[in-house]
Structure 1
Amino acid sequence: MRTVLIRQGIPSRLLTGHNSVRILTFWSQGAIMSLAEHIRPITYLKSSAAEIVKEFAVNPEPIIITQNGEAKMVVMDIGEYEKQQETLALLKLLALGKKEFNAGKFSDAEAFLDEMDD
């Protein structure tokens, strides 16, 4: 079995027809999880929705839903989704700060604090 480490997005060609590939990615809390174990066809979602909701209470890892062999959606625990959204908001703020810094739109800490005192 071959292991593929993915940090962002999952190429659809890895999701179909590769039973001998273990797909790993970073989970929101830094642990590594195997996504291959969490890929399910849409019929599983249709027939097991209540069970999926109960399972999230003990295992909040997202489930990838496929349709006709292609990844179409991700089902995830609302708490994990909210954490992910908070993380994305912070990353956007960091990216904006880096962009402004690179454009020279910054001041040193002393100047900022002096401005705040006025």
Structure 2
Amino acid sequence: MHITNDIKPVTYLKAKAADLLDQINDTHRPMIITQNGEPRAVLQDPKSYEEMQNAQHPQRKLKVTRDGLPTILKTC
């Protein structure tokens, strides 16, 4: 994977939005959008975003359970 292929300036996004959307949906690789040479946003296809959120979800459940366990035990 070459991350340099996944970095585009905001002017590219403005000029070729449809092409960029096709690219990220075909490759499922996020695109870093820069402004004045600095990273400003990440553009990602919906399927990959959903998978990322679902992968993080069990960790959130574990944290809530772990953090809430002392409270639950006190009420028993």
More helix by share: 2
Whole-angstrom distance in 1 between the partners of 2:36 and 2:59: 34
Which of 46, 53, 65 pairs up with 1:78? 46
Q: How many corresponding residue pairs?
A: 73
Task: State the Cα deviation string for residues 67-92 of structure 1 (Å, max 9, x = none).
Answer: 01111111110111111222232221
Equivalent residues of 2:24, 2:31 under 8 A apart: no
The percentage of aligned residue pairs carrying the same residue is 32
Q: Secondary structure at the match of 2:64?
A: helix
Q: Which has the larger radius of gyration?
A: 1
Q: Does 1:56 align with 2:24?
A: yes
Larger RCO: 1 or 2 (CA < 8 Å, sep 6+): 2
Partners of 2:52 and 2:65 in 1: how far apart? 20
Does 2:63 align with 1:98? Answer: no
> TM-score, normalised on structure 1?
0.52
Deviation beyond 4 Å, 4+ runs, structure 1: none
Q: How does 1:1-118 map to 2 (within 5 A)?
A: 33-101=1-69, 103=70, 105=72
Q: Which runs of 5+ in 2 are unaligned?
A: none
Task: Quote the offset at 1:105 in angstroms.
Answer: 4.5
Mind listing any 5+ residue stretches in structure 1 that lack a counterpart? 1-32, 107-118
RMSD (CA atoms) = 2.1
Deviations 1:5-64 (A, max 9, x none): xxxxxxxxxxxxxxxxxxxxxxxxxxxx44332111101111111111222332010000
Query: Which is strand-richer, 1 or 2?
Result: 1
TM-score, normalising length from structure 2?
Answer: 0.76
Counterpart-to-counterpart distance in 2, 1:91 and 1:35: 27
Code of the aligned partner of 1:83: E
